Amino acid sequence: MTFDKLRKEAIAEWEALEHSQKPRILIGTATCGLASGADAVLEAIKLELSRRSIEAIITQVGCIGLCYAEPMVDIIKPNRPRICYGNVTPEIITRLVEDYLVKGDPCADLALGTIGDGHIDGIPSFFDLPVLKPQVRIVLRHCGFIDPENINHYIANGGYSGFVKALTMKPEDIIAEITKSGLRGRGGAGFPTGTKWTFCRRSPGDQKYIICNADEGDPGAFMNRALLEGDPHSVLEGMLIGGYAIGASEGYIYCRAEYPLALKRLRIAMKQMEERGLLGDNILDSGFNFHLKIKEGAGAFVCGEETALMASIEGKRGMPRTRPPFPAVAGLWGKPTNINNVESWADAAAIMQRGAGWFASFGTETSKGTKTFSLVGKVERTGLIEVPLGITLSDIVYNIGGGILKGKAFKAVQTGGPSGGCLGADFLQTPVDYETLTKAGSIMGSGGMIVLDEETCVVDLARYFLTFVQAESCGKCVLCREGTMQMLEILTDITEGKGKPGDIDLLLELAESVKLGSLCALGGTAPNPVLTTIKYFRQECEAHINDKRCPAKVCKSLVSFYIIPDKCQGCRICLRSCPTNAIAGDKRMIHVIDQSKCIKCGSCLDVCPARFGAVAKVSGEQLATPKEPVPVDSWGKA
Amino acid sequence: MEQSGKHLTEVLAPYKDERGAIIPLLQKVQETFGYLSEEAISQIAKFFKVSESEVFGVATFYAQFRFTRPAEHCVKVCLGTACHVRGGQQILEAVRRDLGLESGSTTTDYKFGVERVACFGSCALAPVMVVDDRVYGRLTPTKIKETLDKYR
Ligand SMILES: Cc1cc2nc3c(=O)[nH]c(=O)nc-3n(C[C@H](O)[C@H](O)[C@H](O)COP(=O)(O)O)c2cc1C
Ligand code: SF4
Ligand code: SF4
Ligand code: SF4
Ligand code: FES
């Protein structure tokens, strides 16, 4: 079949959908949507519609990015703009069907915004919402809009036209276009994609491979998962373009097994490509052969490193090796190989569809285009975002993220995961681009952005990252294996109140050695979280070491829980929730905590009614309390 | 393992000529039998004509593989960064307390097994835990009992 025919069919199907006289309901059922209960909502929709014999078209879509508002359901009535509803429950579904579908009241109080032409009183326009206004959607343009399991939805919206255009071009010209776009690798290091493709293209060899790195092992990051679940074809199209430009006839997608839905959607997408002659031999009668295989990761962070990943595909332990030879010369099975991140591939497809100049019009001089980030942690509006590079951290945290959770104070943003670092308030106004973040001692990384508030301990977080890299080190280099272990022990001591003067200097010294003595970037960057913590939060480290105090009140060994005698009403709620019977007291008696029994689980603090607020968490101080429970109001009156 | 021994050959067969198939095969075997028994490892070694220690070497490198009988329900608590800063450790402790696990990771009746995992990609809903294949987000220690009760 020719592509024109494919596209005509796809457009016809899409337009029939758009012009349908039946109401349409879209529901986000990516992993994050399901985790917040989208499946129960979907059931409720089906039940409610059949109960009332309403015919409607239900489409399951990927994540639009507003994870904080999930489950999200959108309703499109004929000739009306699409309305998005957030935090939907089965009860809300009953109301929406009754009030909007049956009676025509759009329930403005439940709506987040409208999409498309037309206005509805009391409902803002979706893309004018503060969370979306600063965003530019290139990679995520289809997420939340198309059915990821329907290739026609992708094709009708411009999909595969970039590849078809590439087929008419000389491979060198395709690579020149990618180079001109300024695209840099979205998997972490930010290496120029066009340059990388050129190396592999020029590398001699009859058999070449391309690989999509979908391992996404960086904890706290889920951009790749969301993209693969919401729009798998955009990644696959990028791979087709890359395969053709580089001269590869085979490709691998290395995707972590923790992402079952992404794997499922990839398999469906590839099958649909094969059925339409977009994958396999002689694609679209062009003479280009390209075959793709999926390899499931088996749970090793280091396998995201490119040489380790290739070893893993070959069936070995995923251990990095020295370079050269670079993968472009001798990669998978010793053949020239080009490996790119999921988002880089999707960007490549967008660039071929819309042109290098268009892509390069976003971003900064040296960091072109947009980048997806997972905005998580102590921020009000957690989710998946896509912004032009060069945007300030403050824009991301405050305008998009809606500020710090529960009105607490901002402390830092952690970027770049285990390879990155914590940037404090001094960096809020700096632009987010490759160079600036690197200069600050952190990195862009793959796009995890974890917001920290005053109640996050950065020393504890640095210890957390060392625990992670220590467990994930492949063990090949002594300094990565043993050096991170030593660093972890020192940091653990510090967080447990066993820190000694001189520990900080020792950490700095070890950090230098681990950086120098590590073969791959796992060890090479592992000290970064520690280094930025010491650099920007030294006082907090010293408080742990010198005063045995955790200012954020996180480090368990350094905090205690007390019941404030003047506030306690003797309601017994905390006593009942205490797992270790550490609390004593009776009705109308001031309760007391036996510090020797308390395991610091914090549940007394959680359950003590806010109007009493009688439980205090302290660090480095002791509160005066009665030894035994005494009647309420008697404390201090004797 | 008698009849499953026969089974195993069936599982092995499609991987005959595939390069680098050890990991996918280990995944398949674990999916079929729940874990990698010594017998399975030894048959896989024979099948690929490599030593058992090589197969063990690969299998133990990856976190996914298990060598003991799994519990009926697998509770995985996320300790990724987003979950960590939003209290993942307290969730893990609450789960262990609720299941009465002082030490070890499986209840004595093999009803529940507890694992810690570094990120499921649902970080926006942190803290997160997965029971079997179902993801639970926005957890608090006080929600643990009612969540686990569904599986008792
Ligand atoms: C320990 C470690 C883990 C990595 N994990 C990933 C990952 O999960 N995804 C990814 O795309 N790149 C990861 N990388 C970077 C890759 O090695 C490689 O640079 C990247 O996939 C290249 O693609 P890009 O040029 O499109 O960024 C990791 C690197 C290291 C050292
Ligand atoms: S730096 Fe660490 S992870 Fe990388 S090769 Fe060396 S030991 Fe392995
Ligand atoms: S912190 Fe936990 S263990 Fe300690 S008193 Fe409160 S409820 Fe009991
Ligand atoms: S500390 Fe709070 S919950 Fe406990 S008895 Fe006093 S008022 Fe009630
Ligand atoms: S950090 Fe827990 S799901 Fe990502």
**Mean pLDDT, chain B, whole residue set:** 90
- What are the tens digits of pLDDT across the range A519-535? 999 999 999 999 999 99
Assigned token pair, A84: 């998005």
Candidates B19, B95, B125, B143, partner chain A, best to mutate (most A CBs within 10 A): B125
- What are the tens digits of pLDDT across the range A247-285? 999 999 999 998 999 999 999 999 999 999 999 999 999
Lowest pLDDT segment from A241-250, A305-314, B60-69: B60-69
Whole-Å CA distances, A225 to A65, A143, A216, A266, B121: 12, 12, 8, 11, 7
Task: With cut-offs at 50, 70 and 90, classify the pLDDT of residue B14.
Answer: confident
pLDDT given at position B4? 52
Shortest distance between the Cα of B107 and any Cα of chain A, in A, equals: 19
- What are the tens digits of pLDDT across the range A609-631? 999 999 999 999 999 999 999 99
**B2 pLDDT higher than 90:** no
pLDDT mean over B87-113: 92
Residue A422 sits at φ, ψ, to 5 deg, of -100, 125
Share of chain B above pLDDT 90, in %: 76
Across the interface, do A464 and B141 touch by the CB < 8 Å criterion?
A: no
- What are the tens digits of pLDDT across the range A171-221? 999 999 999 999 999 998 899 999 999 999 999 999 999 999 999 999 999
Whole-Å CA distances, A61 to A64, A144, A195, A574: 8, 5, 35, 44
Task: With cut-offs at 50, 70 and 90, classify the pLDDT of residue A317.
Answer: very high
Task: With cut-offs at 50, 70 and 90, classify the pLDDT of residue B41.
Answer: very high
The single residue listed with the structure tokens 């003590």 is A608
Task: With cut-offs at 50, 70 and 90, classify the pLDDT of residue A352.
Answer: very high
**A479 pLDDT higher than 90:** yes
Q: Among A598, A615, A625, A634, which is best to mutate for testing ligand 4, by the most ligand atoms less than 8 A from CB?
A: A615
Cα B41 to ligand 5 centre (Å): 32
The single residue listed with the structure tokens 């020393």 is A459
pLDDT mean over A305-327: 96
pLDDT mean over A23-52: 96
Specify the ligand 3 atom closest to the Cα of A577.
7
State the Cα–Cα distance between residues A552 and A409, nearest whole angstrom.
Answer: 11
Task: With cut-offs at 50, 70 and 90, classify the pLDDT of residue A638.
Answer: low
Specify the ligand 3 atom closest to the Cα of A580.
3
Cα A544 to ligand 4 centre (Å): 30
**A483 pLDDT higher than 90:** yes
Tell the residue nearest (CA) to atom 2 of ligand 1. Answer: A305
State the Cα–Cα distance between residues A284 and B103, nearest whole angstrom.
Answer: 59
Lowest pLDDT segment from A41-50, A353-362, B30-39: B30-39
pLDDT given at position A635? 84
Three state DSSP letters for A455-488:
CCCHHHHHHHHHHHHHHHCCCCCHHHHHHHHHHH
Residue A545 sits at φ, ψ, to 5 deg, of -75, -50
- What are the tens digits of pLDDT across the range A451-474? 999 999 999 999 999 999 999 999
pLDDT given at position A403? 97
Task: With cut-offs at 50, 70 and 90, classify the pLDDT of residue A27.
Answer: very high
In which element (H, E) is residue A616 found?
strand A615-619
State the Cα–Cα distance between residues A28 and A551, nearest whole angstrom.
Answer: 40
The amino acid at B115: E
pLDDT mean over A341-353: 98
pLDDT mean over B106-133: 93
State the Cα–Cα distance between residues A634 and A570, nearest whole angstrom.
Answer: 12
pLDDT given at position B103? 78
10 Å CB burial of residue A393 (0-12, 13-18, 19+) is: buried
Contact assessment for residue A309 and residue A339, using Cβ atoms and an 8 Å cutoff = yes
Residue B119: which of A465, A444, A41 has the closest Cα? A465
State the Cα–Cα distance between residues A222 and A258, nearest whole angstrom.
Answer: 11
User: Is B61 an interface residue toward A (CB < 8 Å)?
Assistant: yes
Contact assessment for residue A400 and residue A131, using Cβ atoms and an 8 Å cutoff = yes
Ligand 3 close to Cβ of residue A614 (< 6 A):
no
pLDDT mean over B87-94: 94
What single-letter DSSP state applies at residue A89? -
Q: Is beta strand A630-631 parallel, antiparallel or unpaired with respect to A410-415?
A: unpaired
- What are the tens digits of pLDDT across the range A94-150? 999 999 999 999 999 999 999 999 999 999 999 999 999 999 999 999 999 999 999
**Sign of the four-CA dihedral A65, A71, A77, A78:** positive
State the Cα–Cα distance between residues A217 and A297, nearest whole angstrom.
Answer: 10
Q: Is beta strand A370-377 parallel, antiparallel or unpaired with respect to A448-453?
A: parallel
- What are the tens digits of pLDDT across the range A378-433? 999 999 999 999 999 999 999 999 999 999 999 999 999 999 999 999 999 999 99
**A1 pLDDT higher than 80:** no
State the Cα–Cα distance between residues B12 and A453, nearest whole angstrom.
Answer: 52
User: Is B101 an interface residue toward A (CB < 8 Å)?
Assistant: no
Across the interface, do B20 and A314 touch by the CB < 8 Å criterion?
A: yes
Q: Is beta strand A250-256 parallel, antiparallel or unpaired with respect to A209-214?
A: parallel
**Which residues on A lie below 8 Å from B58 (Cβ)?**
315-317
**A75 pLDDT higher than 50:** yes
Across the interface, do A377 and B140 touch by the CB < 8 Å criterion?
A: no
**A32 pLDDT higher than 60:** yes
Task: With cut-offs at 50, 70 and 90, classify the pLDDT of residue B125.
Answer: very high
pLDDT given at position A58? 98
Across the interface, do B86 and A374 touch by the CB < 8 Å criterion?
A: no
pLDDT given at position B1? 42
* Distance from the Cα of residue A29 to its chain's centroid: 16
Task: With cut-offs at 50, 70 and 90, classify the pLDDT of residue B3.
Answer: very low
Contact assessment for residue A184 and residue A190, using Cβ atoms and an 8 Å cutoff = yes
ipTM of predicted complex? 0.93
Tell the residue nearest (CA) to atom 23 of ligand 1. Answer: A340
pLDDT given at position A189? 86
A-chain residue closest to B93, CA distance: A601
pLDDT given at position A607? 92
Tell the residue nearest (CA) to atom 8 of ligand 4. Answer: A571
Nearest residue, CB atoms, A222 vs list B65, B85, B121: B121
Task: With cut-offs at 50, 70 and 90, classify the pLDDT of residue B8.
Answer: confident
What single-letter DSSP state applies at residue A409? P
State the Cα–Cα distance between residues A387 and A246, nearest whole angstrom.
Answer: 29
**Which residues on A lie below 8 Å from B23 (Cβ)?**
295-296, 298, 312, 315
**Sign of the four-CA dihedral A135, A140, A142, A146:** negative
3-class secondary structure, A84: strand
In which element (H, E) is residue A122 found?
none
How crowded is residue A203: how many other Cβ atoms within 10 Å of its Cβ?
21
Long-range contacts formed by A399-403: CB under 8 A, 24+ apart: A399/A130, A399/A131, A399/A133, A399/A134, A400/A130, A400/A131, A400/A132, A400/A134, A400/A135, A400/A375, A401/A131, A401/A375, A401/A451, A402/A130, A402/A131, A403/A379
**Mean pLDDT, chain A, whole residue set:** 96
Ligand 1 close to Cβ of residue A253 (< 6 A):
no
Q: Where are the alpha helices (H) located in A52-104, listed in sequence order? A: 90-96
For residue A348, give the ligand nearest its CA. Answer: 1
